[in-house]
Every structure is written in structure tokens, then in C-alpha cells.
Amino acid sequence: MSYRDLVGQIEAVASYLQEQLPQPQSRVGACGHNNWQHVVSMLAIFASGHTWVPLNPRNSAAELAGIAEASDLSLIFADDDFAALFEKAGCPIVTMAGPSDDRLSIQDIIQGHFGKRPADIARLQDGISAIKFTGGTTGNPKGVLQPYRAFMSCIASMLATFGFDEQERMLLVAPLTHGAGTFLLPVMAAGGCNILMDGAKAPAISETIVAERITASFMPPTLIYSLIDHAQATGTRYSGIKHLIYGAAPMSPTRMRQAHEVFGPHLAAIYGQTEAPTMITAITASELADEANLLSVGRPCPFNEVQIMAPDGTFLPPGETGEVVVRGDLVMRGYLNRPDLTAQTIVNGWLHTGDLGSFDERGYLFLKDRLRDVIITGGFNVYPTDVEAVLGTHPDIVDVTVIARPDDYWGQRVEAAVVLSADASVSPDELISFAKAELGSVRAPKSVHILPSMPVNAVGKVTRNNVLRAVEELEAQ
């Protein structure tokens, strides 16, 4: 689709939204696959001056219902196979893709409004561009109010960091409600091309990378692992990739080295969170090719201030571990209808990320863990990422997640879940001995559980809670 065609469709839908929802900053949900209709809906919401509420179809029906209720949506765009999830939402539903005999469709809107342009909207730098839900439950979902300035700061940081240009061919495989929606606009800003895929597995993604001459993509580590395994099995190599960007979770050094073999030295990383989207820090491919930087998430992006803070509120020098705090245009306005939680999270202008980390003398950030993920065993603090980094160097381990479990003696015990390579024969006891030799008995796992694969959540991210449930299910068998 050309930019000219895309703009015409966006303006048609934005005109419709302004007619139907004359109140500025009305909240409009979008729930769909990765398709062109979803892109048009999302950008039309921005162009109309309203607020985008992404609804991830991979979430449960109960979660989506809770988010829709908390958001007080005025209208929902939904692919036909997801529309039934919102029948009780109490607002109009417009079909984005699929049969729509009994509903207005986005195609109907484009046909009826094509050639119309939306009215100019007020400068909305601090207006709310999106409400994104993080850690949501049906009882009390947590909606992050992302202002336009945060979105613009994110786009500008990506352009400054990665240098996207008009030759860029970005493969969007993560959901548009999450990672893909973040990378869509920076590539458009540079005049590049976005290629959408929905729910594809490694073989199809591999074929597309080659056939479409893909130069860039953002993927969670789990998907990169699948592509590495596929490439190693088939002998495929990807010479055209310039930016393979990962985020949302750490990658093991072993897997990163494998990625360099398969994709070349083009692996890059970003660190952010919904409250400060995507670009708190970043590390480019050339920096990440340096072995000293394999475990780093890079340096602060151009429009952020990032510090390491002690519990008493003082800033810590390089080499000392504390909470990562950030301030600047990237930071959210607050949480929807939660002034109490907002006041706890943003203190004196600093967003408290809940992540532990430290800077080195060069200004590179190294994350330890979420504050709540630190394991206190026998009175000692153990950072799961330290244990994962050591186990990840074992040649038979292709993926590892460290979890905490209650223990009558230790308070909490360190345990690990691992995925082994196809030809591995190592035992759990041998892996424990390997970890003890490197970490000592306190930090080494007391138990190692072998899983067929790491469970992921709705956006393809491995979480410790999901891994813990998988371990419990394995033990119950």
C-alpha cells in the first residue's frame, strides 16, 4: 500500500470518528490481527484527536472485558472473530477485518468518507495518545496514560538510535497492540516499508525475511530463539538484516552469540516499560557485538535522564546496584483513575521503574532484576539474572529461567527451569554442580526442572509466574 493510499484511508476513518465522537480525546479500542485494517484504525484514532486503547486478542475474555470497562470506551474497532468479546461493552463495534453482514465495517467507512479530511485538532503534546494496560486483572486493571510527547519521544529516540531510512523494510511480527505498534511509526517517519505478519512461526518468518528482503525487525527473545533453531537446522543465514532488535526480556550470552552466527553482528536491544515506552535505554548492534556489552541494555536514549537510586532517594555512583529511575518526555502522565499509585510511582518527577540495575564507568546500564523478583534465601539476596547468566553458559542449555519457591528452612529457595538442546544428556544434578562451581552454594539452584519449552504470556514474553506454574504442573504429573 502506498503512503498516498494509506493517508486517504486514515483521513476517511478519522473523519468518521470525529463525526461520531465529537468530544475530543474520546477513548477508542482496537482489537485485531496484524493487518492493514488494524493499522488504519490505529492511525485514524490518532489523526482524529482521540485516544487509542489497544486490546490484545491474546488476552483472556475476562481480561479484555475488565480493560474495556475500566477504559469507558466510546467505540471499538475489532476483527470479526473478536467482536463477540465486546458485545457487553455497551458501545458501537466496527468490524476491521472479516465478514461483517450485521455490522458497519471499516471498508464501509472508507468507501463512505473517502476524500474527506478530519478537522484540525489542537496541539496535543500533553494530551493522551494511548491508554495501555499492564499487569491488568479483571478486578483492577492498571491503565497507563501515555501522552503524545511520550510517543513522539519514543519515535525520535528510535530514529536517532537506529537511523531508519527510506530503504528500511521492517518486519512486524509482534502484536500491533504492543511491540509492532511501537516500531510502525518510526519506520513510516523515515519513509520506509512495514511488512505485517500475524501469528507466524519460525519457518514462515524465515521465508518472509528472505523473500521480502527484510532489513529490520523487533522480536521477543523467545521468537529469536525459534529462528536460531530453525536456521541451525536448515543452514539458513540472513545477510540482509541490519537491525534485529530484542526487548521485553533478557537474552542469554550463548543465544546472543548464536544470533550473531545466524544474522551477523546485527543484534540490538532496547529497554523500556509501558510507563516509559520502549526507549529508556538502547544498545546498537555495533555496541552489542562487543563481548563486554552482552549483558547490557545500553545507554540512556537522547531524551531521558536515567539514574540509579538508593532506598533513601540518593543517587548511586557507577558500580552500585539500586532502582532504575527515569525522567523526561518519555514518562507517562500517570495511571488511569489511580492517583495514589501514580504518586507512589512518580516521585519528584522521577519514574520508579521497579527494576534493579547499575551503570558501569562507561555509562552502560546492566539490569539485575525486578525489585519483587529478588530472592532472599537464608538472609542473602540472590538476583535471578545472575544465576541465569551462569547457567546460560552451559553448552546443553538453550533457555533458562530462575524462580523462587517457599522453603521452611531458607525462607525462599532458588530453583531453575531449563530447556535443553536436542542432543543434551546432562542431568539436573550435574547442572546444580555446574552452578555451584561458579556461584557458590547459596546462589546455586537447589533444584533444576527440565521443560520442553519456556511458557510465554500473551505478548510472547517469558514470565517467572508462568514458569512457576509450568514447574508445578510438571511436578503434579
> Is the pLDDT confidence value at 139 over 60?
no
Q: What is the mean pLDDT of residues 364-375?
A: 86
State the DSSP string of 232-288. HHHT---SS-SEEEE-SS---HHHHHHHHHHH-S-EEEEEEETTEEEEEEEE-HHHH
C-alpha angle 139-77-71 in degrees, rounded to nearest 5: 30
Q: Output the CA torsion sign for 463, 464, 468, 471.
A: positive
Report the C-alpha gap between 219 and 172 in whole angstroms. Answer: 8
Q: How many CB atoms lie within 10 A of CB 219?
A: 23
Give residue-wise pLDDT tens across range 69-90: 899 999 999 999 998 888 888 8
**Segment among 182-186, 236-240, 303-307 with least mean pLDDT:** 236-240
For domain 3-122, give the fold: Rossmann fold (3.40.50)
Residue of 294 and 369 predicted with greater confidence: 294
Q: How many CB atoms lie within 10 A of CB 423?
A: 6
> Is the pLDDT confidence value at 137 over 50?
no
pLDDT of residue 459: 67
3 state DSSP class of 83: helix
Arithmetic mean of pLDDT over the chain: 91
Give residue-wise pLDDT tens across range 28-63: 999 999 999 999 999 999 999 999 999 988 777 777
Contacts for 162 with CB less than 8 Å, ≥ 6 apart? 186, 216, 243, 245, 268, 282, 284
Q: What is the mean pLDDT of residues 151-155?
A: 94
Between the alpha carbon of residue 294 and those of residues 13, 73, 229, 250, the distances in Å are 45, 43, 20, 10
Q: What is the mean pLDDT of residues 237-241?
A: 89
Report the C-alpha gap between 285 and 242 in whole angstroms. Answer: 8
> Is the pLDDT confidence value at 371 over 60?
yes
Contact 462, 419 (CB under 8 A): no
Report helix angle 148-162 to 179-189, nearest 10. 70
> Is the pLDDT confidence value at 357 over 90?
yes
Phi, psi of 451 (to 5 degrees): -110, 150
Q: How many CB atoms lie within 10 A of CB 383?
A: 18
In SS3 terms, 280-349 reads as EEEECHHHHCCHHHCCCCEEECCCEEEEEECCCCCECCCCCCEEEEEEECCCCCEECCCHHHHHHHEECC
Question: Would the pTM of this model clear 0.85, i.e. be above it?
Answer: no
CATH number of 374-476: 3.30.300.30
H helix or E strand, kind and range, residue 71: helix 61-71
pLDDT of residue 220: 84
Q: Output the CA torsion sign for 211, 287, 396, 456.
A: negative
Residue of 85 and 350 predicted with greater confidence: 350
Give residue-wise pLDDT tens across range 398-443: 999 999 998 877 888 999 999 999 889 899 999 999 999 888 888 8
pLDDT of residue 266: 95
3 state DSSP class of 15: helix
Contact 448, 415 (CB under 8 A): yes
pLDDT of residue 53: 96
Q: What is the mean pLDDT of residues 124-129?
A: 87
pLDDT confidence tier of residue 461, bands split at 50, 70 and 90:
confident
Between the alpha carbon of residue 301 and those of residues 56, 107, 230, 306, the distances in Å are 28, 39, 33, 9
Where do we find the cell 481480561? Answer: 63
End-to-end CA distance of the chain: 51
Q: What is the mean pLDDT of residues 219-226?
A: 87
pLDDT of residue 385: 86
pLDDT of residue 299: 97
Residue of 135 and 214 predicted with greater confidence: 214
Of the ranges 61-75, 136-150, 288-302, the best mean pLDDT one? 288-302
Fill in the DSSP letter of residue 386: H
C-alpha angle 305-307-310 in degrees, rounded to nearest 5: 150
Give residue-wise pLDDT tens across range 171-190: 999 889 877 789 999 999 99
Helices and strands (H and E) in the chain: how many:
15, 24
Phi, psi of 77 (to 5 degrees): -90, 130
pLDDT of residue 93: 94
Contacts for 206 with CB less than 8 Å, ≥ 6 apart? 227, 230, 231, 234, 236, 238
Q: What percent of the chain has pLDDT over 90?
A: 70
Domain ranges for the chain, please list them: 3-122, 374-476
pLDDT confidence tier of residue 199, bands split at 50, 70 and 90:
confident
**Segment among 109-123, 295-309, 365-379 with least mean pLDDT:** 365-379
Amino acid, res. 168: E
Q: What is the mean pLDDT of residues 278-307?
A: 94
